Structure 1
Amino acid sequence: MGAAVYGSSSDLWGTTLLPADVNGSGFGVAISSKLIAQILSVAFSSRIDQVTVTVYSQGILLPVEVDGFSARRGQQGNILTWTEDIGSGLVVVQRSADGLAGWQQLEVKDVTGGPQSYTDVRPLSGIGFYRLCFVSPGGGMLYSPVSAVGGKSAAIVRVYPNPVVDQININSPVSFTRLVLRSARGQTLWRREYAAGVGTASIPVAGLPKGIYFVQVDGTNYQLLKN
């Protein structure tokens, strides 16, 4: 009897095996045979000479090698820099509030090699955790180390002069997108939105009566006295 072949590269029996499965000590083939004797006095025997198992796999090339991934606070936001050595595919810039879960996709672009950068113009108010996810053309994924950087901070925003007479000035090394002026009773007196983000702005207050006012830069409040 000749060799019998079961399955092929186009007939994989609907089974997906991981490398750990194939390399495991329990991986193999179980074979059984059933003999039906019509004459009880006749003895039957069977023998298998050789079993060959071929595992078909789709190679996944790691997409890129990355060096020096880092994040730092800059004038217009948090700046991420890295260098792509080799490879192709896509790079996804991701951000998380705790570095463990809830990774948010910020940017997707092609891997082009060489020095790269990305600026998060709307960083988190607290610490932001960043990483890169490289995706190869075959679907393989490779993550960079996680880099953390402080976000917007009330201590670095200047709201002046205080007391103020005719104009409030706001100066921040990190861009902000919303500016609100409220009275001591919480009434909104002035409001501006900056879609692209700005680092400096001013609020006219010459026509307002003397008293206590609050300037809100994004989510942080600053108290001023109007003379």
Structure 2
Amino acid sequence: MKKQLLFLPLAALAAIQLLHRATCQTALLLLLWLATPPAATAQSVWTARTSAADNNWYSVTYGNGLFVAVASSGTGNRVMTSPDGITWTSRTSAADNLWYSVTYGNGLFVAVASSGTGNRVMTSPDGITWTARASAADNFWYSVTYGNGLFVAVASSGTGNRVMTSPDGITWTSRTSAADSSWYSVIYANGLFVAVAVNGANRVMTSPDGITWTARTAAVNSSWNSLTYGNGLFVAVADGGANRVMTSRDGITWIAHSAAVNNFWYSVTYGNGLFVAVAINGTGNRVMTSPYDAALPVSLRYFDGRMTAAGALLNWATATEKDNARFSIERSHDRNVGPDLSFEVIGNVPSQAPGGNSGTLLTYSFTDTQPLPGINYYRLTQTDYNGTRTLHKIIALSRENQPMVLFPNPAGANGLMQIEPAIAYQRYRLVDVQGRVAASQEQPGLLRQLSVGGLNSGVYVLVVEGANGPAQFRIVVP
């Protein structure tokens, strides 16, 4: 069955200021923060706020408890900050450059510009005090993101060097882009850097590490201004063409969609189960939204896991399912080459939904009884009845150096405490705060469960003597 992404127009009560080819999806974070959930979009109310100055604000991000915005105009005040998104304070930018994008990562705010000489990057640890940095080249830098321990920026100018990377936001290195297109937006999601462009034969490029890039074919050659990722789906928006929205489940293969109206869409983001895009033209319809359930056959609530004595226990839940046949659990031992790589299917779990359709919460689990040594990467994929696959979240679990966990602690009403991973012992004993032995086991064995139901209320120390010497754990009996 063909899935269609439905975008719904949402009347904007406050004028959306010029977002002229701003690339980073974080420009919508503040707007999304003011939005209501999908069920209430018809009643959504937007509230105008007073900016610190009437500059041309192109990008906003959030990090370390602070909203930070950057602008392309103004004198000495091209940064503003807010703790709540409502009250804003002007800050002095490192230079009066044309600042087009700002991001936050690894404890640092980083902004990039399309103008300036040797100073087209600026950084700040707190969003208030900024320092000019030298970009790898004086290109027109339009977007910056952070992911996998690396800052990555893309540009609309330059010859063979329209990407630059930095591990710390300070020292930058030129990288070869997949093509000399005008790259306007870059993000990191699902183990992959993805960038989109407004022109060129190849308007999408991807990279697993931010360094080596591969050209991809866009769904259509529209002017792709902005890109985001949410709930297993990449979404890009454009300002021209018959199809001004395109989506991809893996960042590689793209599908074209019609926008709610053919406005000039300049930025898109995802949050709270909703894709939100904004435009620079239109009458009363400069915002459009799309709920997650219109985009994907399965709405995944969570996917997580932990190591147990039995192996790697994976848990996930769905809020809705549509034509869902099954889930597949995939495992990889080396994630360095991105999502196209060495994942292997280690198990399948059929859908619990009758006929593959459900509107209620369904929970699932799977145990990898033979995890590999070291770090194991697990990816959840979903398959429709028609064979269409959707890639979901990737998680990492380490088999080595797993700390022993006793739970629940304090003990529950039944007095049983689970121990994961199980620990081999020569003997163990429970000692109260006066040093008295309350319980003990002198025969070697494997400790998986501890019964404390017959003990008096109080604090105890579990002393386990194993091959590596004694270990102590504090437990509470209510």
TM-score class normalised by the smaller sequence: 0.3 to 0.5
TM-score (norm 1): 0.43
TM-score (norm 2): 0.22
